[in-house]
Amino acid sequence: MAHPDELETLTKAFSGHGIHEQALISILGKWQPEEKKSFRKGNPNLFIEDERNFERWDDQHVRLLKHEFMRFKNAVVLWTMHPWERDARLVKEALKKGPQSYGILIEISCTRSADELLGTRRAYHSLFDHSIEEDVAYHVNGSERKLFVALVSAYRYEGSKVKEGIAKSEAMTLSNAIKEADNRKPIEDDEVIRILSTRSKPHLQAIYKHYNEISGKNIDEELDIDLRLKETVQCLCSPQKYFIKVLDTALTKDTDKNIKKALTRVIVTRADTDMKEIKQEYNNQFGVPLSKKIEDTTNGNYKDFLLTLIARGG
């Protein structure tokens, strides 16, 4: 009969984010047939009682486990990849998966530097014999298309100079567009797209400040009416707020496997950029260190690798 602690350890090893490889080896390697049967009987969430009187793996969970075993490998591959290629492949995958993944296009377009985004566009040419712009225009339909094409095409000024008068005027333009949302969606307003896709990040942060002064509210709060514009403003003006929201969702138990992928993506792509600020914001927002949340939620080599990456930024 399997020891209760071993059953609990093994059940945990087959759950959550990543597989605890050492637990599998140390326990399964010594179990006899009756202990394996006891494990199967005790885990109806993993095994189904077949009509022919044996316990068989739940097909859906087997597919999930394949993904869990792959998480460590995928994280290592993404980490060793050139950032331009990595982002180009992330864009391609997001376009292939469809609207539920389009937020990744905003993330890459708005949180990378001008040269990083240009490098991603170059890599996309080499890898896929298309431009990002043409593939985005082909795959994205409706009112989002114009915004997405404009964002991936951007090459923003990265100096510190901001003309406060223009920033204040454009804050008013955005405010008016949001107030008129009942008549026309802000995402369909050419001036909104122009401002968000061409202005520098310091300029947009000045707009953010002036918007608050004009309306008494933060613009990203006002944009709850439009998720894509909200994500765009957050990625441009307060990327740490955006990233901790993505991480918290990805670290939620039993979340969708595609959402779980965001954990790998965010940690790998931000480890050498602003991970220190992300960790601080996460702790401030949720009252628990990001490292502790990862420790409690993930398993095995995958967990160890993620913890190593987030420790790089201090």
Q: Is 22's pLDDT higher than 80? A: no
pLDDT of residue 28: 78
Query: What is the model's pLDDT at position 2?
Result: 65
Q: Residues 275-284: pLDDT tens digits?
A: 999 999 999 9
Q: Is the pLDDT of residue 98 over 80?
A: yes
Is 306:75 a contact under the CB 8 Å cutoff? yes
Question: What is 150-200 written as a DSSP string?
Answer: HHHT-----SS---HHHHHHHHHHHHHHHHTTTTS-GGG-HHHHHHHHHS-
Q: Provide the CATH number for the domain formed by 84-152 in this structure.
A: 1.10.220.10
| Residue 146 clears pLDDT 70, i.e. is over it | yes
On the question of a common fold for 84-152 and 156-237, the answer reads yes
Highest mean pLDDT among 6-15, 32-41, 224-233, 298-307 belongs to: 224-233
| DSSP one-letter code for 159 | S
Mean pLDDT of 89-117: 97
Residue 313: pLDDT band with limits 50, 70, 90:
low
Could you report the per-residue pLDDT of 216-248, keeping only the tens digit for each? 998 988 999 999 999 999 999 999 999 999 999
- For domain 241-310, the CATH architecture is Orthogonal Bundle (1.10)
pTM here is 0.86
Q: Which of 60, 61, 57 is nearest to 49 (CA)?
A: 57
Mean pLDDT over 93-121 rounds to 96
- DSSP at 288: S
pLDDT mean over 145-163: 97
pLDDT on residue 16 = 60
User: Average per-residue pLDDT in the chain?
Assistant: 91
- What pairs with residue 55 in β-bridges? 49
Q: Any idea which residue has 């394996």 for tokens?
A: 36
Asked whether the predicted pLDDT for residue 20 surpasses 90, the reply is no
Question: Which band of pLDDT confidence, cut at 50, 70 and 90, is reported for residue 24?
Answer: confident
Domain ranges of the chain: 4-57, 84-152, 156-237, 241-310
**Residues 122-140: what's their mean pLDDT?**
96
Confidence of residue 123 (pLDDT cuts 50, 70, 90): very high
- Candidate CATH numbers 3.40.50.1370, 3.40.50.300, 1.10.220.10, 1.10.150.250; the one for domain 156-237: 1.10.220.10
